[in-house]
């Protein structure tokens, strides 16, 4: 795993986020369009919706595994329901 953990703009708070290692390939958006979006002007993707169900969590985890730049991380702040 790369040491660059700087988050790109647009990531919503939560477990998953994308770092500046992202090259904007859009594989994450193609795999999980309900969670990832591309910022075409800046050339990177970001997570706009954190997973809310076990299936969404599995999908985001799978997307993380297939990221060619290891830019998707899952060690961010986990928000708990009060």
- Cα–Cα separations (whole angstroms), residue 46 to 10, 12, 23, 34, 43: 6, 8, 11, 12, 10
Tokens in use for 47? 């997570």
> What is the pLDDT confidence band of residue 73, given thresholds at 50, 70 and 90?
very high
- Residue-level pLDDT at 82: 44
Is position 48 within any domain?
A: yes
In the three-class reduction of DSSP (H, G, I as helix; E, B as strand; rest coil), residue 63 is classed as: helix
If one counts the domains in the chain, the total is: 1
Is position 64 within any domain?
A: yes
Range of the domain at 38: 17-73
Q: What CATH code is carried by the domain that includes residue 69?
A: 3.30.70.20
- Residue-level pLDDT at 5: 82
């Amino acid at each position: 795993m790369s040491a660059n953990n700087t988050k790109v703009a647009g990531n919503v708070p939560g477990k998953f986020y994308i770092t500046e290692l992202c090259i904007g390939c859009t594989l994450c958006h193609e795999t999980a369009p309900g969670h990832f979006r591309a910022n075409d002007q800046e050339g990177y993707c970001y997570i706009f919706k954190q997973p809310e169900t076990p299936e969404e969590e599995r999908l985001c985890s799978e997307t993380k595994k297939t990221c060619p730049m290891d830019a998707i991380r899952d060690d961010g702040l986990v928000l708990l329901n009060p």
